[in-house]
C-alpha cells in the first residue's frame, strides 16, 4: 500500500500533471509540483495596466493584501478620463450609456465578486470587491448592483466624457446614410483614433466601420508568500446592445484565480472567451504543468476551434478578432499571449514595470 504522504512525494517527483491533493470530498487534481517557498512578487496584466502592475507590486511589497494591490492599480485607469476602455471615459453602449463590468478573485480566501451592467460608478472593480467582502453573493447586475454600490458609499456620476460622447455621436451618425443623423466634422480634439492595438490588444471586425473598439484592463499579482489575486474591469464592447455582458465579470471567463495554481485574465472579444471558459481553461492547463505562455496559447487555440461562424472569420478562415490572455503561476512565472501578433502585456517584477511582447498564434 502506498501511504498518502508517499503518494504526494512520488507525484511531485514524476511531474506536474500527476500532482494530486486530497480534499475532504476525495482526490482532486492538484497544484503544480514545483514550488518555490519564497516567490519574487510579480504583477502581470494587459498592456494598459502598466501603472496598475507597478501599483500592485508597491502595495504587496509594502505588506498590503494582493487584492487591494490589483484593485488599487486598476482604479487608476478606471478613474482616468483618457482611457476609453474602462470606467470613467469608457465608450458607451448603443444608447450612449456607459455600462461597466468587473470581477475580482482573492486567492487566499477563495473569494470572488463581480458586477455587470453597472452604470454611473467610476470604479466597478471596487464594487466587485465589496460584493465579495460584504455579501454572500458573487455577481450583482444592473440597478441592483448600482443600489448596492451606493449603499457602500460609491458616488453616482456621469461617466461619459466629452471625447467618448463625441465618438458615440459620430458612430451613431455613420450607422446609416438613411437616417437623420449627420456625420460631424471629424477633425479636432476628442476625435483622435482609438488607442493602439499594440498596447491594448483591441479590435473586432465590425460591419459598420471596420474595427470596433473593445478594451479592458486585467491585473494579477503574486506576493512573496505565493498568495495570488486578480481583477478584470471594462466598459466592454463599444456600442454594444444595452444589457450585453462580456467576459470580464464572469468568473472563469475574463478572470480566474486558484491560489494553488495561479491567475489568469483576458481582454478582447468576450463572447469567444465566455464560450471557452477562457481563464479557467488557462488555470487548468497550468495545473497540468504548462507554462503560463503555453497555457494561454492552448486556450487561444480552443477559441480558434470554436470560431465556426463565417461572419467572425477573416479571408484566411481565421478569427477576425483578437483575444489576449495574461497569466502568472504559483512560482511567479508569467506570460501573455494573443491570437494575433503585435499585442503587448504589462509586467512588474524586481521593481521594474515594463511592456513585453505577447506570444501569438498567427502573424498579421
Ligand atoms: N473583454 C471585454 C468584453 O468583451 O467586454
Residues with Cβ within 8 Å of residue 23, at least 6 apart in sequence: none
Q: How far is CA 19 from each of CA 31, 34, 261, rounded to the nearest angstrom?
A: 6, 10, 12
Q: Where are the beta strands (DSSP E) in the chain?
A: 20-23, 26-29, 42-46, 100-106, 111-118, 139-141, 205-206, 210-211, 214-222, 228-237, 255-258, 262-268, 323-329, 334-340, 344-349, 352-357, 359-362
The answer to whether 216 is a known catalytic residue is: yes
Q: What is the pLDDT of residue 318?
A: 96
* Structure confidence at residue 1 as a pLDDT band (50, 70, 90): very low
pLDDT of residue 8 exceeding 50: no
User: What φ, ψ does residue 7 adopt, rounded to 5°?
Assistant: -65, -45
To test the ligand 1 pocket, which listed residue (245, 268, 274, 338) has its Cβ within 8 A of the most ligand atoms? Answer: 268
Q: How far is the CA of 190 from the centre of ligand 1 (A)?
A: 23
Q: How far is the CA of 239 from the centre of ligand 1 (A)?
A: 12
* Structure confidence at residue 33 as a pLDDT band (50, 70, 90): low
pLDDT of residue 165 exceeding 70: yes
Atom of ligand 1 nearest to the CA of 271: 4
Give the distance, in angstroms, between the CA of residue 346 and the centroid of all CA atoms in the same chain.
Answer: 12
Residues with Cβ within 8 Å of residue 93, at least 6 apart in sequence: 99, 236, 239, 240, 241, 242, 244
The closest residue, in CA terms, to atom 4 on ligand 1 is 270
Rounded to whole angstroms, how far apart are CA atoms 155 and 45?
Answer: 27
Q: What is the pLDDT of residue 184?
A: 73
Q: What is the pLDDT of residue 84?
A: 83
3-state helix, strand, coil in the chain (%, to 5): 30, 25, 40
Q: What is the pLDDT of residue 29?
A: 57
- The more confidently predicted of residues 14 and 31 is 31
pTM for the structure as a whole: 0.86
- Residue identified by cell 504522504 is 5
Mean pLDDT: which of 3-12, 84-93, 162-171, 224-233 is highest?
Answer: 224-233
Q: Report the pLDDT averaged over residues 7-28.
A: 37
Q: Report the pLDDT averaged over residues 214-223.
A: 92
Choose among 219, 20, 41: nearest CA to 125. Answer: 219
Q: How far is CA 298 from each of CA 40, 51, 166, rounded to the nearest angstrom?
A: 26, 28, 39
Atom of ligand 1 nearest to the CA of 236: 5
Q: How far apart are the first and last CA of the chain?
A: 56
Choose among 36, 72, 75, 77: nearest CA to 57. Answer: 72
Cell of 363: 502573424
Amino acid at each position: 500500500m502506498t501511504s498518502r504522504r508517499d503518494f504526494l512525494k512520488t507525484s511531485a517527483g514524476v511531474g506536474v500533471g500527476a500532482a494530486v491533493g486530497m480534499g475532504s470530498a476525495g482526490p482532486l487534481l492538484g497544484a503544480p509540483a514545483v514550488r518555490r517557498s519564497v516567490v519574487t512578487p510579480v504583477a502581470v496584466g494587459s498592456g494598459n495596466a502598466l501603472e496598475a502592475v507597478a501599483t500592485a507590486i508597491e502595495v504587496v511589497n509594502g505588506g498590503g493584501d494582493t487584492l487591494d494591490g490589483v484593485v488599487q492599480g486598476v482604479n487608476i485607469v478606471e478613474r482616468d478620463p483618457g482611457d476609453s476602455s474602462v470606467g470613467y471615459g469608457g465608450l458607451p453602449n448603443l444608447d450612449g450609456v456607459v455600462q461597466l463590468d468587473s470581477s475580482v478573485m482573492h486567492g487566499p480566501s477563495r473569494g470572488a465578486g463581480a458586477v455587470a451592467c453597472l452604470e454611473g460608478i467610476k470604479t466597478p472593480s471596487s464594487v466587485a470587491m465589496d460584493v465579495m467582502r460584504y455579501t454572500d453573493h458573487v455577481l450583482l447586475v444592473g440597478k441592483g448592483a448600482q443600489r448596492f454600490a451606493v449603499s457602500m458609499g460609491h458616488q453616482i456620476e456621469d461617466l461619459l466624457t466629452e471625447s467618448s460622447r463625441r465618438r458615440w455621436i459620430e458612430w451613431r451618425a455613420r450607422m446609416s446614410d438613411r437616417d437623420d443623423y449627420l456625420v460631424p466634422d471629424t477633425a479636432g480634439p476628442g476625435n483622435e483614433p482609438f488607442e493602439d492595438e499594440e498596447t491594448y490588444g483591441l479590435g473586432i471586425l465590425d460591419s459598420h466601420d471596420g474595427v470596433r473598439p473593445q478594451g479592458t484592463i486585467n491585473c494579477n499579482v503574486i506576493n512573496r508568500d505565493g498568495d495570488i489575486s486578480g481583477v478584470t474591469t471594462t466598459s466592454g464592447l463599444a456600442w454594444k446592445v444595452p444589457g450585453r455582458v462580456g467576459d470580464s465579470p464572469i468568473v472563469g471567463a475574463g478572470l480566474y484565480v486558484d491560489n494553488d495554481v495561479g491567475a489568469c485574465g483576458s481582454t478582447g472579444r468576450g463572447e469567444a472567451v465566455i464560450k471557452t471558459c477562457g481563464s479557467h481553461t488557462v488555470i487548468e492547463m497550468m495545473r497540468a504543468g504548462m507554462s503560463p505562455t503555453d497555457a494561454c496559447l492552448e486556450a487561444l487555440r480552443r477559441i480558434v476551434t470554436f470560431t465556426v461562424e463565417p461572419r467572425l472569420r477573416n479571408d484566411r478562415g481565421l478569427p477576425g478578432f483578437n483575444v489576449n490572455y495574461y497569466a502568472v503561476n504559483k512560482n511567479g512565472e508569467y506570460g501573455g499571449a494573443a491570437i494575433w501578433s503585435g499585442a503587448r502585456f504589462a509586467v512588474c517584477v524586481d521593481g521594474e514595470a515594463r511592456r513585453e511582447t505577447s506570444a501569438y498564434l498567427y502573424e498579421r
